[in-house]
């Protein structure tokens, strides 16, 4: 089979291989020695590069220089004990989310903001494999080989989406409670935030349409929306577990707890109801049950256990759902996109 669609049952099976072969790329696991830089993608992905260059991700490396954010950046840096504003671009405390770093030999340097590889994984070992239609005839083989070589492939929504949450939901309470950094991107929702300025969708079933950055299929939006909500819950619980300081004066745990509570008490039950209550996918009901049984104010180990159990269910949800059966959530997916999708001239 050479063509390829999100509804392909073979890919649902591939999801299984994805999930077990590569674990999610936590922020600090973008190995700088595997980074080759966005320019290397340009020859074959001109339009993706164009869209990325005008997005805020490409400019996140100027957080300390941009007049709009430099004061705040300096304030955070000072409170965090950095020696100078320039250290923002070198200290891992900030680079892991705002920058892409590359290591060549013994030299480790920042090469830009949030980049292709921040989301798709360091490409050194997969760049030659993933698009080589001459040597590897089948698209599915190309996907499998590139994933084995460390690619975070968007066909596995969980893998690519997990990254968004590693950066958009913070894990280090000092950065928030002491540094005054936002605990999370307010209102972050996967479907609307990935389909606005972040969207770069130039293929349909392996056919490239260079003139149009198309909308992704509705079924895929449903998967994004639902997976995003589940990942939001998982990451909020992990945040909660990572925070030690309790009380109103400490915004970190407050923000994590509030978000987890909103998902458990209202948003996830609403999704389950729209998907038919008892008839809703088993993983969703299971996740709600796990979350409800987890004492959010309990010790870290308890909350981490809840998050781990939820993660296992999210992966299964990804394998078992291609979005075709999730039409019930259509009315819940926000229609207001975050930023404007780029269109080639």
**Binds ligand HEC by CB under 6 A, chosen from 173, 197, 309, 322:** 197
Region of 92-100, 261-269, 284-292, 314-322 interacting with ligand HEC (CB under 6 A):
92-100
The upper half-sphere exposure of residue 322, i.e. CA atoms within 13 Å in the direction of its Cβ, equals 15
Least separation in angstroms between CB 171 and ligand HEC: 6
Least separation in angstroms between CB 312 and ligand HEC: 22
Which single residue is written with the structure tokens 């349409």?
209
14 binds ligand HEC (CB under 6 A): no
11 binds ligand HEC (CB under 6 A): no
144 binds ligand HEC (CB under 6 A): no
Other CB atoms within 10 A of residue 332 CB: 16
**Binds ligand HEC by CB under 6 A, chosen from 22, 41, 290, 307:** 41
Residue 151 burial by Cβ neighbours in a 10 Å radius (0-12, 13-18, 19+) = buried
Distance, in Å, from the CA atom of 210 to the CA atom of 201, rounded to the nearest integer, reads 9
**Which of 235, 95, 259, 264 has its CA nearest to residue 162?**
235
Q: Which is nearer to ligand HEC, 200 or 259 (CB)?
A: 200
**Binds ligand HEC by CB under 6 A, chosen from 34, 57, 221, 253:** 57
Comparing every residue's Cβ against ligand HEC, the nearest one is 131
Query: Taking the alpha carbons of 229, 232, 236, 237 in that order, is the dihedral positive or negative?
Result: positive
CA 13 vs CA 10, 19, 155, 187: distances in Å: 5, 10, 11, 32
Whether the CB-CB separation of 289 and 255 falls below 8 Å is answered with: no
Q: Which residues bind ligand HEC (CB under 6 A)?
A: 27, 36, 38, 40-41, 43-45, 48-49, 52, 56-57, 59-60, 63, 69, 72-73, 76-77, 80, 88, 93-94, 96-98, 114-120, 123, 127, 130-131, 139, 142-143, 153-154, 160, 163-164, 167-168, 170, 175, 179, 181-182, 185-186, 193-194, 196-203, 206, 216, 338-339
């Amino acid at each position: 089979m050479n063509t390829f669609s999100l509804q392909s049952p073979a890919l649902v099976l591939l999801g299984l291989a994805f999930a077990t072969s590569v674990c999610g790329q936590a922020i600090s696991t973008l190995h700088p020695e595997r980074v080759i830089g966005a320019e290397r993608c340009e020859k074959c992905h001109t339009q993706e590069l164009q869209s990325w260059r005008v997005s805020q991700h490409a400019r996140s490396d100027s957080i300390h220089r941009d007049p709009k954010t430099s004061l705040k950046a300096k304030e955070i840096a000072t409170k965090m004990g950095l020696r100078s504003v320039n250290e923002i671009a070198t200290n891992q405390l900030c680079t892991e989310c705002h920058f892409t770093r590359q290591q060549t030999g013994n030299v480790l340097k920042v090469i830009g903001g949030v980049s292709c590889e921040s989301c798709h994984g360091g490409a050194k070992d997969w760049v030659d494999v993933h698009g080589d239609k001459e040597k590897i005839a089948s698209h599915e083989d190309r996907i499998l080989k590139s994933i084995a070589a460390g690619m975070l492939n968007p066909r596995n929504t969980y893998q690519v989406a997990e990254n968004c949450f590693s950066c958009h939901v913070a894990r280090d309470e000092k950065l928030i409670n002491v540094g005054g950094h936002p605990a999370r991107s307010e209102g972050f929702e996967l479907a609307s935030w990935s389909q606005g300025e972040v969207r770069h969708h130039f293929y349909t079933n392996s056919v490239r349409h260079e003139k149009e950055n198309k909308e992704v299929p509705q079924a895929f939006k449903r998967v994004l929306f639902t997976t995003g909500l589940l990942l939001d819950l998982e990451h909020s619980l992990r945040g909660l577990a990572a925070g030690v300081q309790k009380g109103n004066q400490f915004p970190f745990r407050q923000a994590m707890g509030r978000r987890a509570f909103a998902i458990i008490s209202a948003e996830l039950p609403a999704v389950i109801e729209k998907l038919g209550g008892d008839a809703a996918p088993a993983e969703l009901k299971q996740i709600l049950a796990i979350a409800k049984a987890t004492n959010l104010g309990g010790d870290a180990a308890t909350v981490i256990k809840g998050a781990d159990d939820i993660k296992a269910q999210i992966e299964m949800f990804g394998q078992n759902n291609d979005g075709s059966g999730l039409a019930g959530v259509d009315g819940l997916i926000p229609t207001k996109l975050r930023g404007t999708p780029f269109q080639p001239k």
